A and B are shown apart, each in its own frame.
Chain A
Amino acid sequence: MNADFTKEELAFQHEVRNFLESEFPADIRDKVDRNIRLSKEDIVRWQKILNRQGWMAPNWPEEYGGTGWTPTQKYIFNQEMGRIGAPEPVAFGVKMVAPVILAYGSEAQKQRFLPDILESNVWWCQGYSEPNAGSDLASLKTTAVRDGDHYVVNGTKTWNTLGQYADWIFCLVRTDNTAKKQEGISFLLIDMASPGIKVNPIVLMDGSPEVNEVVFDNVRVPIENLIGEENKGWTYAKVLLTHERTNIARVPYTKRRVNELKSAAASRADGSGGSLADDPSFASKVAELEIDLLALEYAELRTLAAVTVGKAPGPESSILKIVGTEVAQKADELFLEVADYDALPFVPEQFEAGFTGAALGDGYLASTALDYFNHRKVSIYGGSNEIQKNIICKAVLGL
């Protein structure tokens, strides 16, 4: 039993690190370092660079543009991306809709949609949650009624992330009102330019324009945009959830945050002539966070080791989501503590690209309260942590 990478894996790590150091654009890196929100252009530019290298879609089959990497190589890739703060490709296209198209789409759908995802020509967003269908997603009410060679879609989707940039949306829609709620759902791809779609921004408490409500008013969708069979959409969406568990713990990201936290604390006055890093009570909280992160890292490695020998990641991986979000939120909390009064000015526009005014607060620390507010989402989205616990109880503990 050992946690060492092989010589080949170390060489791969070296290759990835070299690539990222030279190809991750300096201006984007600078924004990440200063916590400036990335623009759509930044994100697309970076994804196109990844794609030129052939690294846009590590999880896809090689024949469609995947990398053919081993699970350990994918892990290393994520680690190196997180280490320098390079953003992962936006998940909705490459990690969420594409695997469903790959698994259940027709050959024509694969040819039509996958290349544009790989090349970041088309931006996808997600239409799952509804105002009255959150944790109980299967109770969704958006309808798709067959009319000739079209579906007519009516309803409202919500918590739609970055839909303001999106060209297409993948939706779970109800195609049968008479069946059991999970069995009347279909998986439909919809062009955001279709007449009858309205995107209403939802302003979050940190002031960020991150999510939207998407209203469908008699939107006509060609039937060839249905994935797989009618009324099988719930099964497709669920399969996707168990397969897309890579990097769910986000250990590299939080490690980076903790390193920033420690260096911020070291140069932060404690108000009594010393540095905050030397405050025993603060130091002990940081140590506990680092220890939690280490435990999480090895819990993830255990899952990876199981995948490496051909086992599917079990429902145990729900703990990676729960603990991963808890430690990330704990780091946010400690940042607040480091920033003291510098966290308080509410000037969200200073974190938007193109802000030309004078920044308020001490650089990175000025965004700590906003991060703290914004990141409350992580224990809510992707199946809330309570839903993850339900999964553990049912699938692992047999309760």
Chain B
Amino acid sequence: MDFSFTEEQQMLQDSVQKFVRDNYDFETRRELLASDRGYSSENWNLFAELGWLTVPFREEDGGFGGSAVDLMVMMEELGRAMVLEPFVPTAVIAGGLISELGTDDQKRELLPRIMGGELQLACAISEPGSRFNLANVATRAEAQGEKVILSGSKVAVLNGSHADQLLVVARSAGSQLERNGISVYLVDAGAPGVKRHGYTNVDGHGAAAIDFDAVEVSSAACLGAPGEAYAALEKVVDRATVAVASEAVGALDSLLQKTVEYSKTRNQFGVPIGTFQALQHRMADMFIECQLARSIVMMAAMKLDSSAGDDEKAKAVSAAKSRLGRAIFKVGQEAIQLHGGIGITDELDVAHLFKRVTAIETLFGNTDYHTRRFASL
């Protein structure tokens, strides 16, 4: 048993901390939010230069190593500062799918461009009514000779509004809820028949609803063999779940820290409100939630890096996301409540952290979904 970071992980953590300190104060972030893209392309290039975009990838693919613990270390620090750049959609999810499913040619073509910061990707997974069920795919992929025609509607496509290319989860065979028959196609975001409705989520991250109206792609656009993508999709989404969970662990820590600091400086009745035991114990409860969330997310990351079986890994991820979800509600709500009126304004970073962790509670399956998944595995 060894819970310490490797030297590389320590360096990665230092590197992210330094970036955040130098480039991501609350005002700067606010300007990025107001910008057209909602994040900074310069930052993205810097991510590439610093090697961060290689973190999710295996060494044989030219990456940093691809361990979930590496991702955890990095995401936690990004979470503290609410970094907006679409690292998870592009590098973890889309990159992960290419790495898991792609042919050698596809990997050679795409992965270096992702790691080099040249390519923004989004993965179109969810559909109206599918909620968190990855097997619930109604979007069709009809083979016509050398071509495939994609038709269907996707929602909640993270980074969907600015991605250069899309990975589209579509059904080449089987009925709507079947795990077999699911494929992933690489589609140019500007291809005829792709209709994007971009918007910004409550947490400031960009997303899109995308309709595919008989979009024509080459059959070579399928990642790997058609119809066999489900297992990889589940695996990659589980990794993304641990990534955003780690991000939330950082953000929750930030919320606790800011609340404790505020309670020491905010005076009412002639004393700092942090001297009231009624409030102190609530902050102790927030601390406990933060520690439990951190512990179980570490557990899940270590489990993903272990030799455990697929079900055991999935179960660990669901345990983590479920427990984290409860911590998110508790710590988030208490942070706002203890700040009082100022806590519900747009002016303070606390509200923005609250919005981000609330979004993470939903991402890739909410608390209830993961509790049930845990129990079923």
Does chain A bind chain B?
A: yes
Contact of B1 with A319 in the complex, beta carbons under 8 Å: no
Contact of A319 with B298 in the complex, beta carbons under 8 Å: no
> Which partner residue on chain A sits nearest B292 by CB separation?
A295
Binds A, one of B39-47, B208-216, B277-285: B277-285
Contact with B along A385-396 (1 / 0, CB 8 A): 010011011001
Contact of B295 with A302 in the complex, beta carbons under 8 Å: yes
CA distance A290 to B315 in the complex (A): 11
| Residue of A297, A299, A397 with most chain B CB atoms under a 10 A cut-off | A397
Instruction: Assess whether A221 is interfacial by the CB under 8 Å rule.
Output: no
Binds B, one of A31-39, A108-116, A130-138, A303-311: A303-311
Binds B, one of A93-101, A281-289, A355-363, A374-382: A281-289
The main secondary structure of chain A at its interface with chain B is helix
| Residue of B1, B285, B288, B292 with most chain A CB atoms under a 10 A cut-off | B1
CA distance A298 to B302 in the complex (A): 11
> Which partner residue on chain B sits nearest A309 by CB separation?
B4
Contact of A302 with B3 in the complex, beta carbons under 8 Å: yes
- In the complex, chain B residues 244-295 whose Cβ is within 8 Å of any chain A Cβ: 260, 263-264, 274-275, 277, 280-281, 283-285, 287-288, 291-293, 295
Contacts of B285 in A (CB 8 A): 389
With A298-B298, A302-B295 given, is the CB distance from A4 to B1 under 8 Å? yes
> Which partner residue on chain A sits nearest B324 by CB separation?
A295
- In the complex, chain A residues 293-336 whose Cβ is within 8 Å of any chain B Cβ: 294-299, 301-302, 304-306, 308-309, 316, 319, 322-323
Instruction: Assess whether A291 is interfacial by the CB under 8 Å rule.
Output: yes
With A2-B302, A287-B374, A291-B319 given, is the CB distance from A298 to B2 under 8 Å? no
Contact of A323 with B292 in the complex, beta carbons under 8 Å: yes
> Which partner residue on chain B sits nearest A386 by CB separation?
B281
CA distance A333 to B264 in the complex (A): 38
In angstroms, how far is the closest chain B Cβ from the Cβ of A152? 39
CA distance A286 to B322 in the complex (A): 13
Contact of A294 with B296 in the complex, beta carbons under 8 Å: yes
Contact of B284 with A397 in the complex, beta carbons under 8 Å: yes
With A292-B292, A298-B298 given, is the CB distance from A304 to B1 under 8 Å? yes
> Which partner residue on chain B sits nearest A397 by CB separation?
B260
With A299-B295, A393-B281 given, is the CB distance from A308 to B322 under 8 Å? no
Instruction: Assess whether B162 is interfacial by the CB under 8 Å rule.
Output: no
Contacts of A284 in B (CB 8 A): 368, 371-372, 375
Contact of B280 with A323 in the complex, beta carbons under 8 Å: no
How many residues on the A side are at the interface (Cβ–Cβ under 8 A)?
41
Instruction: Assess whether A3 is interfacial by the CB under 8 Å rule.
Output: yes
With A301-B3, A323-B292 given, is the CB distance from A393 to B284 under 8 Å? yes
Q: Which of A2, A291, A323, A389 contacts B305 (CB 8 A)?
A: A2
Instruction: Assess whether A205 is interfacial by the CB under 8 Å rule.
Output: no
Contact of A399 with B260 in the complex, beta carbons under 8 Å: yes
Instruction: Assess whether B138 is interfacial by the CB under 8 Å rule.
Output: no
Q: Which of B284, B299, B368 contacts A298 (CB 8 A)?
A: B299
> Which partner residue on chain B sits nearest A299 by CB separation?
B295
Instruction: Assess whether A341 is interfacial by the CB under 8 Å rule.
Output: no
> Which partner residue on chain B sits nearest A277 by CB separation?
B375
Number of chain B interface residues as a range: 35 or more
Instruction: Assess whether A106 is interfacial by the CB under 8 Å rule.
Output: no
Contacts of B280 in A (CB 8 A): 389-390, 393, 397, 399
Contact of A287 with B299 in the complex, beta carbons under 8 Å: no
With A2-B306, A295-B292, A299-B291 given, is the CB distance from A308 to B283 under 8 Å? no
Contact of A323 with B288 in the complex, beta carbons under 8 Å: yes
In angstroms, how far is the closest chain A Cβ from the Cβ of B93? 23
In angstroms, how far is the closest chain A Cβ from the Cβ of B331? 13
Contact of A291 with B296 in the complex, beta carbons under 8 Å: yes
> Which partner residue on chain A sits nearest B3 by CB separation?
A305
CA distance A336 to B207 in the complex (A): 47
Instruction: Assess whether A182 is interfacial by the CB under 8 Å rule.
Output: no
Contact of B260 with A398 in the complex, beta carbons under 8 Å: yes
CA distance A284 to B375 in the complex (A): 7
> Which partner residue on chain A sits nearest B263 by CB separation?
A399
Q: Which of A291, A301, A390 contacts B371 (CB 8 A)?
A: A291
Contact with A along B165-191 (1 / 0, CB 8 A): 000000000000000000000000000
Contact of A1 with B296 in the complex, beta carbons under 8 Å: no
- In the complex, chain A residues 205-234 whose Cβ is within 8 Å of any chain B Cβ: none
CA distance A316 to B285 in the complex (A): 12
Contact of B288 with A319 in the complex, beta carbons under 8 Å: yes
Instruction: Assess whether B69 is interfacial by the CB under 8 Å rule.
Output: yes
Contacts of B296 in A (CB 8 A): 291, 294-295, 298
Contact of B298 with A286 in the complex, beta carbons under 8 Å: no
Contacts of A390 in B (CB 8 A): 277, 280, 284
Contacts of B306 in A (CB 8 A): 2-4
Contact of B287 with A392 in the complex, beta carbons under 8 Å: yes
In angstroms, how far is the closest chain A Cβ from the Cβ of B135? 20
Instruction: Assess whether B323 is interfacial by the CB under 8 Å rule.
Output: yes
Contacts of A323 in B (CB 8 A): 288, 292
With A3-B299, A295-B323 given, is the CB distance from A399 to B291 under 8 Å? no
In angstroms, how far is the closest chain B Cβ from the Cβ of A161? 27
- In the complex, chain A residues 134-184 whose Cβ is within 8 Å of any chain B Cβ: none
In angstroms, how far is the closest chain B Cβ from the Cβ of A194? 41
Contacts of A9 in B (CB 8 A): 1
Contact of A2 with B2 in the complex, beta carbons under 8 Å: yes
Contact of B4 with A1 in the complex, beta carbons under 8 Å: yes
Contact of A295 with B293 in the complex, beta carbons under 8 Å: yes
Contact of B375 with A399 in the complex, beta carbons under 8 Å: no
Instruction: Assess whether A5 is interfacial by the CB under 8 Å rule.
Output: yes
Contacts of B5 in A (CB 8 A): 1
With A287-B371, A316-B291, A390-B280 given, is the CB distance from A5 to B260 under 8 Å? no
Contact of B2 with A288 in the complex, beta carbons under 8 Å: no
Instruction: Assess whether A13 is interfacial by the CB under 8 Å rule.
Output: no
CA distance A399 to B305 in the complex (A): 38
CA distance A4 to B1 in the complex (A): 5
CA distance A290 to B298 in the complex (A): 17
Instruction: Assess whether A72 is interfacial by the CB under 8 Å rule.
Output: yes
- In the complex, chain B residues 330-377 whose Cβ is within 8 Å of any chain A Cβ: 368, 371-372, 374-375
CA distance A292 to B371 in the complex (A): 11
With A284-B371, A294-B296 given, is the CB distance from A3 to B1 under 8 Å? yes
* Extra pairs beyond A291-B296, A302-B3, A392-B288 (17, CB < 8 Å): A1-B302, A1-B305, A2-B302, A3-B306, A283-B375, A284-B375, A287-B372, A292-B323, A295-B299, A295-B319, A299-B291, A302-B295, A305-B1, A305-B4, A319-B288, A319-B291, A389-B285
What are 14 A-B interface contacts by the 8 Å CB criterion? Answer: A1-B4, A1-B298, A2-B2, A2-B306, A5-B1, A284-B372, A287-B371, A291-B322, A291-B374, A296-B292, A389-B280, A398-B260, A399-B260, A399-B283
